[in-house]
């Protein structure tokens, strides 16, 4: 996968990740006290889908491009409203030119008492992210390896927070690093809600990754996966997954509504599927098509 996220911004994997992140933020806002979103691999924060890089792959056309034009039922529309409203806010003249990365999406959805900590290691991307949030006292932007943030920046002073870990998966051991990073972070901040993104592609060690996570001493881990096409003859991304640690009690039922709709609208062939299940916790399958 190409680390520069502009090539992938707004694709089907972003749709799943950002739709769930928006739900997590809205749940945290049910309490009056502020919270912090810690984004370990933040990217540049805002993506121009008319850029040469985004146009080169056109991945957003198969993701947010389809979803914004989809006819959604009332329940799904309500669940997606925070996410889609943020995109509409960035594109007041209609259409989709600008797409929010995770830090920008969170910032749009924040109340005055909520805060953002965003980490980015790539020098050029960090510079762009810093400029995007320059002068914003609700956001702290740091040039740092995101894996280090899972130790040094936890727990947040608010004692409430969402930790989003979305590594580039350029290295073969990223699945193991993700599990070890969660284990380290959870020891420091066991009350946090964690959202871990991972790619699904042919040959990926998903079963081993899940078994490693299940072996951790973490009581509740909910998993959601969306596959948009068959991996037969494919070497690239065919789906993506999220592991949510300490999920809101409402999230299981929300996934029951969201995942089938996302599969129906984002499917690229007849082999598209979805599933949501507990890695640790209630041990009940939500849906598996």
Is position 145 annotated in a ligand binding site? yes
CA-derived radius of gyration, the chain: 18
Is position 166 annotated in a ligand binding site? yes
Is position 102 annotated in a ligand binding site? yes
Angle between helices 74-90 and 12-28 (to 10 degrees): 100
For residues 67-102, one letter each, b for 16 or more C-beta atoms within 10 angstroms of the residue's C-beta and e for the rest, the string is bbeeebeeebeebbebbbebbeebeeeeebebbbbb
Catalytic one among 14, 39, 125, 166?
166
Query: Do 167 and 178 meet the contact criterion of CB atoms below 8 Å apart?
Result: yes
Report the C-alpha gap between 194 and 26 in whole angstroms.
Answer: 15
Query: Do 165 and 178 meet the contact criterion of CB atoms below 8 Å apart?
Result: yes
Its sign, for the CA torsion 58, 62, 64, 69, is positive
Residue identified by tokens 């809101």 is 248
Report the C-alpha gap between 120 and 130 in whole angstroms.
Answer: 9
Please state the φ and ψ torsions of residue 105, each to the nearest 5 degrees: -60, -50
Residue identified by tokens 């209609």 is 94
Is position 146 annotated in a ligand binding site? yes
Residue identified by tokens 């933020």 is 25
Report the C-alpha gap between 13 and 184 in whole angstroms.
Answer: 26
Which residues are registered as beta bridge partners of 226?
240, 274
Q: Is 269 labeled as catalytic in the residue annotation?
A: no
Is position 85 annotated in a ligand binding site? no
SS3 250: coil
Question: Parallel, antiparallel, or unpaired: how do β-strands 193-200 and 239-245 relate?
Answer: antiparallel
Question: Which residues sit in the known binding site?
Answer: 18, 41, 102, 120, 145-146, 166
The residues that are catalytic are: 166
Which residue positions form the known binding site for S-adenosyl-L-methionine?
Answer: 18, 41, 102, 120, 145-146, 166
């Amino acid at each position: 996968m190409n680390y520069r996220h502009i090539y992938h911004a707004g694709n089907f994997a972003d749709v799943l990740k950002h739709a769930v992140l928006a739900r997590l933020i809205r749940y945290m806002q049910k309490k009056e006290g502020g919270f912090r979103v810690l984004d370990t691999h933040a990217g540049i924060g805002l993506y121009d889908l008319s850029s040469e890089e985004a146009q080169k792959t056109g991945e957003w056309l198969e993701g947010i491009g389809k979803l914004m034009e989809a006819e959604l039922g009332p329940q799904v529309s309500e669940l997606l409203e925070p996410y889609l409203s943020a995109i509409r806010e960035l594109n007041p003249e209609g259409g989709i030119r600008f797409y929010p990365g995770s830090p920008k999406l969170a910032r749009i959805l924040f109340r005055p008492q909520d805060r953002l900590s965003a980490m980015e290691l790539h020098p050029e991307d960090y510079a762009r992210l810093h400029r995007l949030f320059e002068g914003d006292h609700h956001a702290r932007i740091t040039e740092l390896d995101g894996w280090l943030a899972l130790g040094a920046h936890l727990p947040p002073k608010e004692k409430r927070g969402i930790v989003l870990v979305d590594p580039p998966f350029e290295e073969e051991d990223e699945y193991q690093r993700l599990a070890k990073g969660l284990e380290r972070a959870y020891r420091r901040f066991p009350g946090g809600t964690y959202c871990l993104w991972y790619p699904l592609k042919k040959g990926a060690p998903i079963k081993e990754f899940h078994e490693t996570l299940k072996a951790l001493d973490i009581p509740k881990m909910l998993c959601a996966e969306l596959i948009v096409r068959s991996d037969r003859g494919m070497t690239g991304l065919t789906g993506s997954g999220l592991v949510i640690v300490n999920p809101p009690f409402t999230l299981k039922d929300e996934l029951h509504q969201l995942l089938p709709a996302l599969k129906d609208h984002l499917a690229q062939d007849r082999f598209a599927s979805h599933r949501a299940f507990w890695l640790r916790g209630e041990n009940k399958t939500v849906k598996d098509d």
